[in-house]
Structure 1
Amino acid sequence: MKELSKYLIAVDGGLKNGEITTEVPYEEVMRLVNEPNIVIVKNIFPEETLKNAIDATLEWSKKVPLNEEQDDFVSNSHKRRLHIAKIQQAPQLFHDHTFDNLLNLEEPYKSAILAIFDPIRKFWNGLTGNSEEFGHKKGQPYLHPQITHYPMGGSFFGRHWHPLNPQKVGLITALNKYGRDYHSGGTGYVINDTIIETEGFQDIGDMILFRYDLPHWVSPSSFADRFSWDDPRGRWVAILPFYDPWGTPAEKDEPQGWKTQITTATKAPAAV
């Protein structure tokens, strides 16, 4: 375990028998997250597994028309996000691929994508005390596996936030290599009025963990590059949100209550 900068901690990780391992117990990982800190679990996935997931996503997206309608939250779909979120007023420019029906995705795409999301699902369950499987559940929170591409040339996601529950901990897995496959853009956070940028600290196969109610953003990729939706270069990440899309949305005002909510980190949060 190593402190990279204020509020930014690296923890050695790995993958064994399909499950993510960490050098300290999961309870300690959650204690660090809840202090709060940004925790980077290093070297989880082998590069070949991540490349297969990106390649499968690209091939699948070429066969499936872009979703230009309102999200239905039950399908496998991909969408070019280019708008300002109505509630949080956060501008967005990225291409997301959401697999709300992942278990019914056709092969070989399903196996390649599950190779990263099944260990992530188990890890999130272990951190939060849940036992969630993939599949949508009307009227209840459920998992939304998502692979996001931030193209070169100015893609970004403006500062935004989420309710702490039921997600508890956000997970962002780097699918490609900083400095080789992309050279700008990373996730930033604010803790106790301190800005924490993870660009250059998170590399391929690493996973960022953060308290889900921390304000955060994705910094723009360099405008020195020409933007193209069809250029596969740029930052690729996998995230695993857990929410009820028909439930109460995030507040329009940025949550500052987390500063007073955090009084101790001696135990992990209770399971939902």
Structure 2
Amino acid sequence: MQEVAKYLIKVNAEFKDGQIVPEISPEEVMRLVNEPNIVIIKTGIPEAVLRNVIETTRAWAAKTPLAEGPDTFDNNQHKQRLHIAKIQQAPQLFHDHTFDAILDLEQPAQQNLLQVFDPMRRFWNSLTGNNEPYGVRKGEPYFHPQVTHYPLGGSFFGRHWHPLNPQKVGTILALNQYGQDYHSGGTGYVINDHIVETEGYQDMGDMILFRYDLPHWVSPSSFADRFSWDDPAGRWVAILPFYNPWGTPADYKEPQGWKEQIVQAKEVTA
């Protein structure tokens, strides 16, 4: 375990029998996340497995029409997102592939994706004390596996936030290599009014963990490159949100609940 920058901690892990096993206990990992810090887990997932997720996603998208209508949260779809979120007013420009019905995918696509998403699911369960399976459950929280492509030439995701629960801890797994497959763009956070940028700190196979109510964003890829939806170059990540799509959305006001909790705790002990 090593603090590589303020509020940015790297933790080594072993990829064993399809599971991510960190060098410290899941309880200790969550303690670091909740302090809060940005924790980067060196998962050890093989490069071939990670790149296969990108290739599988691209092959699936090539034969699947782009989704145009509102999200239904009960299927497998991909969408070129270019809009401003209504509640948070967060601008977006990226290619989103969402596998809410991942268990309905044909083989070998399902198996290829689950080689990454199942270790992520098991790890998230170990961190949060849950035992959640995949599957759509209307009216309840469930997993929304996503593979997101940030093309070169200006893709980004504006500053936004989420309710802390039921997700508790966000997960962002790097599927390709900074400095090789892309040279700009990374996830940023605000902790105690301090800006934490992860660009250049996250290597292929590293999984960023963050307390889910921290304001965060994805910095733009360089405009020096030509933008193209069809060019696979750029940043690729796998994320595993867990939420109820029909539940209460994030507030317009930025959540800083952890700050309030710290203040309240100090008042109680004073």
| Root mean square deviation, CA, Å | 1.2
Distance in 2 separating the partners of 1:262 and 1:71: 37
Please identify runs of 4+ aligned residues in structure 1 that moved more than 3 A.
262-265
> Is 1:63–2:63 an aligned residue pair?
yes
Match of 1:100 in 2: 100
Q: Which amino acid counterpart does residue 5 of structure 1 have in structure 2? A: A
Letter in 1 for 2:239: I
Which residue number in structure 2 is paired with residue 207 of structure 1? Answer: 207
* Other-structure match for 2:154: 154
Corresponding position of 2:268: none
For 2:8 and 2:209, the matched residues in 1 are separated by 10
The CA distance in 2 between the partners of 1:163 and 1:44, in whole Å, is 30
- C-alpha change, 1:224 and 1:263, in structure 2 (3 Å) is same
- Matched residue, 1:19: 19
Superposition pairs of residues 114-263 of structure 1, within 5 angstroms? 114-262=114-262
Question: Match of 1:36?
Answer: 36
Amino acid in the other structure paired with 2:142: Y
Cα distance in 2 for partners of 1:127, 1:257 equals 20
TM superposition shift of 1:42: 1.2
The AA in structure 2 aligned to 1:175 is L
How many residues in Structure 1 have an aligned counterpart in Structure 2?
265
Contact conserved, 1:147 with 1:237, CA < 8 A, in 2?
Answer: yes
Q: Are the aligned partners of 2:40 and 2:208 in contact in 1 as well (CA < 8 Å)? A: yes
1:81 equivalent in alignment to 2:115: no
Q: TM-score, normalised by structure 1?
A: 0.96
Stretch deviating more after TM superposition (249-258 or 20-29): 249-258
Q: C-alpha separation between the residues in 2 aligned to 1:203 and 1:43?
A: 10
Q: Matches of 1:251 and 1:105 in 2, distance apart?
A: 34
Shift of 1:87: 0.2
Alpha-carbon offset, residue 43 of structure 1: 4.1
Mapped to 2, the partners of 1:239 and 1:162 lie a distance apart of: 14
Residue 204 of structure 2 aligns with an amino acid whose one-letter code is I
Larger relative contact order (C-alpha < 8 A, sep ≥ 6)?
1
Shift, 1:261, TM fit: 1.9
Query: Percent identity of the aligned residues?
Result: 71
In structure 2, relative to structure 1, the CA distance for the partners of 1:75 and 1:88 (3 Å cut) is same
The answer to whether the Cα contact below 8 Å between 1:35 and 1:262 also exists between their aligned partners in 2 is no
Unaligned runs of 5+ in 1: 266-272
Letter in 2 for 1:187: T
Q: Which amino acid aligns with 2:90?
A: A
Q: Which runs of 5+ in 2 are unaligned?
A: 266-270
Aligned partner of 1:8 in structure 2 is 8
| TM-score, structure 2 normalization | 0.96
Tell me by how many angstroms 1:216 deviates.
0.2
Q: SS in structure 1 opposite 2:203?
A: coil
Question: What SS is found at the alignment partner of 1:80?
Answer: strand
Structure 1 residues 206 and 264, CA gap change in structure 2 (3 angstroms)? farther
Whether the 8 Å contact between 1:35 and 1:264 is mirrored in structure 2 is no
8 Å CA contact 2:20–2:43 kept in 1: the answer is no
> How far apart are the structure 1 equivalents of 2:59 and 2:261?
44
1:116 is paired with a residue of what secondary structure?
helix
